[in-house]
């Protein structure tokens, strides 16, 4: 897997965190950069940690996954992307019913970070199946998620919720297309 695919996966995985960050920004009376930075650190840290855990688990079972690794990667990435698309089109648009969200609540940030990074755990399993350089991958995912989460707070504060749904749609489509590309390359249909 090349750097472009890893970059696209990192962006796709960070879309949930970006959407939640927009919601946090919507509830801020004044843009609080310290709160945005702490939230982004939680999101970036967990988005990096979860694929590492998934990779470690997947590596332990590579003898079992090896013969069907391309199918495992395809199914996991397509599932994550499909879930993002389903949520974008089928969840009611409730908006963010937050009062002022400028305060730092570490417990809430921890819960949000875990909730938005579960998909990254499955991606980590596919990284083990594809023999990806895990240090570079999790570093890239963490950095991109940090940057997009920080930006998401600002976007939410300045522009409102109109970018939350398109971000989830783009992230879902990107993950599905990368999974399809991996599958087609391993089946010999696509030679890149």
- Rounded to whole angstroms, the Cα distance separating 191 from 124 reads 24
Q: What is the pLDDT of residue 49?
A: 95
Chain-wide mean pLDDT for the chain?
A: 80
Q: What is the pLDDT of residue 192?
A: 53
Q: What is the pLDDT of residue 68?
A: 72
The per-residue pLDDT for range 23-49, each reduced to its tens digit, is 778 777 788 899 999 999 999 999 999
The per-residue pLDDT for range 177-187, each reduced to its tens digit, is 777 877 787 78
The per-residue pLDDT for range 131-152, each reduced to its tens digit, is 888 999 999 999 999 999 999 9
Phi and psi torsions of 147, nearest 5°? -65, -45
Contact 156, 25 (CB under 8 A): yes
Other CB atoms closer than 10 Å to residue 72's CB: what's the count?
24
Q: What is the pLDDT of residue 38?
A: 94
The per-residue pLDDT for range 64-101, each reduced to its tens digit, is 766 776 787 777 778 777 877 887 787 665 555 445 55
């Amino acid at each position: 897997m090349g750097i472009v695919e890893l970059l696209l996966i990192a962006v796709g995985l960070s879309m949930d965190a970006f959407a939640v960050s927009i919601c946090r920004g919507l509830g801020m009376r004044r843009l609080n950069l310290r709160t945005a930075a702490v939230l982004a650190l939680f999101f970036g840290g967990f988005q990096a940690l979860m694929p590492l855990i998934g990779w470690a688990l997947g590596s332990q079972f590579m003898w079992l996954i090896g013969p069907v690794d391309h199918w495992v990667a395809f199914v996991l990435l397509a599932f994550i992307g499909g879930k993002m698309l389903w949520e974008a089109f089928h969840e009611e648009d409730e908006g963010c019913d937050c009062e002022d969200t400028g305060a730092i609540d570490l417990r809430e940030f921890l819960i949000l970070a875990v909730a938005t990074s579960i998909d990254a755990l499955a991606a980590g399993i596919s990284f083990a199946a594809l023999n990806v350089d895990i240090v570079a991958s999790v570093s890239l995912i963490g950095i991109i998620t940090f940057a997009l989460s920080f930006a998401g707070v600002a976007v939410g504060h300045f522009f409102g919720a109109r970018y939350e749904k398109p971000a989830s749609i783009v992230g879902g489509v990107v993950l599905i297309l990368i999974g399809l590309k991996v599958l087609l390359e391993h089946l010999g249909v696509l030679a890149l």
